[in-house]
């Protein structure tokens, strides 16, 4: 039981990291676009 709980927790953390990474990437791109204007 404990092992499965830990796996799901790590899986959720991985998803969160992925979402944060894409959000940061989008933010960086929008800032770069602002700088070019």
List, for residues 1-37, the tens digit of each pLDDT value: 556 676 676 767 777 888 888 999 999 999 888 887 6
- C-alpha span between 26 and 34 (Å, rounded): 12
Dist CA 37 CA 19 (whole Å): 28
């Amino acid at each position: 039981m404990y092992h499965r709980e830990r796996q799901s927790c790590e899986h959720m953390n991985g998803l969160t990291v992925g979402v944060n990474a894409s959000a940061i990437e989008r933010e960086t791109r929008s800032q770069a676009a602002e700088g070019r204007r």
